[in-house]
Amino acid sequence: MSRLHHVAGHALRLLRCGEEYFPRLVAEIDAATESVYLETYIYAADGSGRMVADALQRAARRGVSVHLLLDGFGSAEFPQRWRAELQASGVQVLVFRPQISWLTLRRKRLRRLHRKLALVDGHVAFIGGINIIDDTSDGTDVPRLDYAVEVQGETVERIHASMRRLWVMVTWISFRKRHEHDKLRLLLPVATQDKVAFVFRDNLRHHNDIQQAYLNAIAGAQREIVIANAYFLPGRNFRLALMGAARRGVRVVLMLQGRMDHPLLHYATQFLYDELLGAGLEIHEYHASFMHAKVAVIDGSWSTVGSSNIDPFSLWLAREANLVIRDTGFAATLRASLQQEMERGGKLVQHSAWIRKGFWARLLPRISYVLVRMMSAVAGHAGERDAV
């Protein structure tokens, strides 16, 4: 667990993997006196899930107002008996877009709640990419690589407003009060130039905030860009920004998923290797375990930790949340952790070896790339009624 960083009135702590995240989350829930909000894409019925569920129930039983918001797809297998148990203790449970039958063709299926946020007493928040699931649920001995940030300070008020707003929206829609929806279409003030900024993506007025934060930082990079991202399939503008940075002498390092967990996305990403390696970018495939991180460090001073991948589903469709920090101390801590992971489990992809791959080895990435772009384009054209 990293040291506490004090930045512009904020206290920040970088948490690596669930082994650091869950003890801190549970400790704060156990200290709660007023309210707990928790949003997650995946909530698994395993050891970590039980640990958090027990803490939520303890809080509810002592009179704390506890709110749990689950994604209907990512948490589709959340046991009904667990939900009943939580509700019996006083925990309020809602589901964002309950999963519909696969036989029902709806474009909004891919518009998911992908944020991983927790808020205790409106005072301390957790933001990152860690779901409520055991680190080794994928069968590996080495924990899945992921990060979160524990934060206190003024930015927590913005996180609080966003979480409360989404909770109310889902509550109204769950009870079919769609006419109330427009009352919450309020623009939260964007503060992306602050030393610590909460940046989120929704399907209303903040659909491009996370990507723009990345692009602004990349445009200003002078020495080094390090991006670790589990599912990396950026659009043309994002790729041009990275390649432009490399052309002006910036070292651009990508740490990407080496182990295959989603074959279609895995091969689609590899379709971009020729272009990116040819432009001088470094690609390190991470093989020590499955990588779920969504973080970046630029010029040793700008960093971000959050839930957003750099792919069409995160940047165009899902609700996401990142924290942007402008501080050399915090950036150094995250950069050192990423460097250690690259040395321990990364494998540098050599351009000379990559371009020697035969026709059939290149065909599958090309087909995968076309399929992913087609799927995301169709889903991305859902109408305004689909904006929640």
Catalytic residues: 114, 116, 121, 292, 294, 299
Radius of gyration of the chain (CA): 20
CA 120 to mean position of chain CA atoms: 20
- The answer for 174, left when phi > 0, alpha when psi is -120 to 50, beta otherwise, is alpha
Beta bridge partners of 295: 228, 305
- Distance, in Å, from the CA atom of 218 to the CA atom of 225, rounded to the nearest integer, reads 7
- Provide DSSP, 156-172: HHHHHHHHHHHHHHHHH
Q: Based on the number of CB atoms within 10 Å of its own CB, is 96 exposed (0-12), middle (13-18) or buried (19 or more)?
A: buried
The one-letter amino acid at 85: E
Maximum CA pair distance of the chain?
A: 64
- Distance, in Å, from the CA atom of 82 to the CA atom of 269, rounded to the nearest integer, reads 37
CA torsion, ordered 379, 382, 386, 388, to nearest 10 deg: 50
Question: Residue 301 in 3-state DSSP?
Answer: coil
Query: Can you list the positions of beta strands (E) in 101-208?
Result: 117-120, 124-128, 147-152, 196-201
Locus of tokens 């995160």: 314
- The answer for 8, left when phi > 0, alpha when psi is -120 to 50, beta otherwise, is left
